Chains A and B, each alone.
Chain A
Amino acid sequence: MKRVYVNEQWCLGCHLCEYNCAFANSGLSDMAKALRDKPIFPRIHVEDSGKIHYAVSCRHCTDPICVKSCIAGAISKVDGTVKIDREKCVGCLTCVLVCPYGAVAPGPSGAAQKCELCLENSCGAPACAAGCPNNAIVYEER
């Protein structure tokens, strides 16, 4: 299965992926309209520490602990992709607590959200990888 991978060696810490992610999941066609003067809720986060930068998003684990921990049954794995049903989520954020990668975070409505590989939005493939200026984020089979 194709997944989002990050090559730390090439990550510049520019944070463009966060903005491309937030835009891709905004449902709008204009980036400025979608993101200007608003807090953003990206599903990928660049961790910076001095000169080290690393973008973190859902690994779509083989045996996802978030799925097991969800008290509302909102998280499921469909065709290899771990998904959150926003309607079912009760916002307890247990998934945020248990994710070993820190890849789950509350979204604007309070429900948990995470990378779903842009398969449901208009991009069709991860916007973070498509917009990465240095090929640090790749979407590939490994």
Chain B
Amino acid sequence: MKEHYIYPEFEVVRNENRCIKCRVCERQCANEVHRFDPDLGIMISDEAKCVNCQRCVSLCPTHALKIVKSDCRLRENANWSDETIKEIYKQANSGGVLLSSMGNPKPLPVYWDKILINASQVTNPPIDPLREPMETKVFLGKKPDKIRRNANGELITEIAPQLELSMPVMFSAMSYGSISYNAHASLARAATELGICYNTGEGGLHEDFYVYGPNTVVQVASGRFGVHKDYLEAAAAVEIKMGQGAKPGIGGHLPGAKIVGDVSRTRMIPEGSDAISPAPHHDIYSIEDLRQLVFSLKEATEYKKPVIVKVAAVHNIAAIASGIARSGADIIAIDGFRGGTGAAPTRIRDNVGIPIELALASVDQRLRDEGIRNNVSLVVGGSVRSAADVVKAVALGADAVYVATAALLALGCHLCRTCQSGKCNWGIATQDPELVKRLNPDMGSRRLVNLMDAWRHEIKELMGGMGINSIESLRGNRLMLRGVGLTEKELSILGISHAGE
């Protein structure tokens, strides 16, 4: 059956006056868009293959290239958008579920952008972070409710295990398999230099990265890939992954073609076998079951490491978090609906889950109301894009945030959102050795460290403006936030006043 022709989404525009036919674009495009025609002596483009990853644009030495959105559109229709119709054509051609990558790109509300931060004027002095000490260090884990003393009246100072971070940011879970060896190496090295943590995701921990263990969070997901005693012992904390913001309610599927060599060894599954993470953990159907896994992991690590439970932000998140806080977990990680992924069904990514801002505010409030906020630390992720988002998250009640998309952008990702193809021209979401080598971890880790250093400076500036010199004093300090253009209901869920109030 002949497929419906779909006009390419992008056009390659080449300035012939600048092009020197060096063929760098041709050599660097894994999608094989560019080609030199020796008979005509010109470069030719096959635009149907272009994903707009901008690799050629970035590397063209004379800046002769640009990629533009094609203006060949179907007849305008406010109900049937061009994209919607073409998705129908694709499904009619293939009969398949549509796949997408990275976070939800739909124009749904971004509450971070509707929240404004306070600053001190006249009645309380702002603090200059360049002149005065400013604390951004946080400890994640269960905090004592009250002061306890032993029989002799001395203070009992032992507390539950804590995860120490130099700033309230961690790199969130991305598995070895979904991202490359060099991407993992960059994250691991940067986390170590920064004094924060990165997260293995569910793909296990490559043997080369055990040395970064003190700055590693290892994940135990529904597929249990790569989980063994040394893996748990190597880490600073263990995370149970119940869900992911980009695809709540479904599992994962790394195709057998990507399970080769080190990926197969690290995941502890045979080469060429599909790595299927089931949607549920087959041993968890209740909070009591979750409690069993939490304590199994604590037992395995001799109660020395905090256990994180990661869930996607969904409708009843406050009640779910309340249950997790009673399960013995030390940290709850909540992933909002704009969180990224290496591959997810488009319909799930774009339609399932709720904004992290609302989830965070309601969870923090619920745990406080129930008097169990100290049982756990809260970590939120799902498109934390800047230092301002970090400050707003902390003021809404988070102990720390997870960032992944921002970290990938620092590594060179241009958000073309075709990770699922495995042909990442930036050497990130690929296992092709020729592409993986494009990401030199010396450069990658440096850029990550630069990004986080910049954020740390900005966090201090924002805190200083509010007259706050410690991130601990900002946590849950919602008086420092005001909403703009939000309804009464939204303001009441966020627990903040409207600007001007």
Contacts and interface: CB of A to CB of B under 8 A. Distances in A.
Interface of A: 9-10, 12-16, 18-20, 23, 31-32, 35-37, 51, 131, 133-136
A136 B442 CA distance: 10
Given A15-B23, A15-B27, A35-B20, A10 B437 contact: yes
Given A12-B28, A32-B18, A19 B61 contact: yes
28 contacts: A10-B437, A10-B440, A12-B28, A12-B437, A12-B438, A14-B28, A14-B59, A15-B24, A15-B27, A16-B24, A18-B22, A19-B20, A19-B24, A20-B61, A31-B61, A31-B62, A32-B17, A32-B18, A32-B19, A32-B20, A35-B20, A36-B21, A51-B433, A51-B434, A133-B58, A134-B440, A134-B443, A135-B440
Nearest to B446: A135
Given A31-B61, A135-B442, A36 B19 contact: yes
Given A10-B437, A15-B27, A51-B434, A131 B19 contact: no
B493 interface: no
A18 B433 CA distance: 24
Nearest to A34: B20
Nearest to A9: B437
A131 B59 CA distance: 10
Contacts of A35: 20, 22, 62
Q: For B21, B59, B62, B433, which residue has the most chain A Cβ atoms within 10 angstroms? A: B62
A54 to B, nearest CB: 13
A14 B56 CA distance: 11
Contacts of A37: 20-21
A15 B443 contact: no
Contacts of A9: 437
Contacts of B62: 31-32, 35
B99 interface: no
B: interface residue count bin: 20 to 34
A5 B226 CA distance: 38
B268 interface: no
Contacts of B443: 134-135
A3 B364 CA distance: 57
Contacts of B43: none
Given A16-B24, A19-B20, A19-B61, 8 more contacts: A14-B59, A16-B59, A16-B61, A23-B61, A32-B17, A32-B64, A36-B20, A37-B21
A136 B443 CA distance: 11
B296 to A, nearest CB: 41
A40 to B, nearest CB: 8
Contacts of B19: 32, 36
B20 A31 contact: yes
Contact of A19 (B22, B58, B64): B22
Interface in B26-72: 27-28, 58-59, 61-62, 64
A9 B443 CA distance: 14
Nearest to B22: A19
A130 B61 CA distance: 12
Contacts of B20: 19, 31-32, 35-37
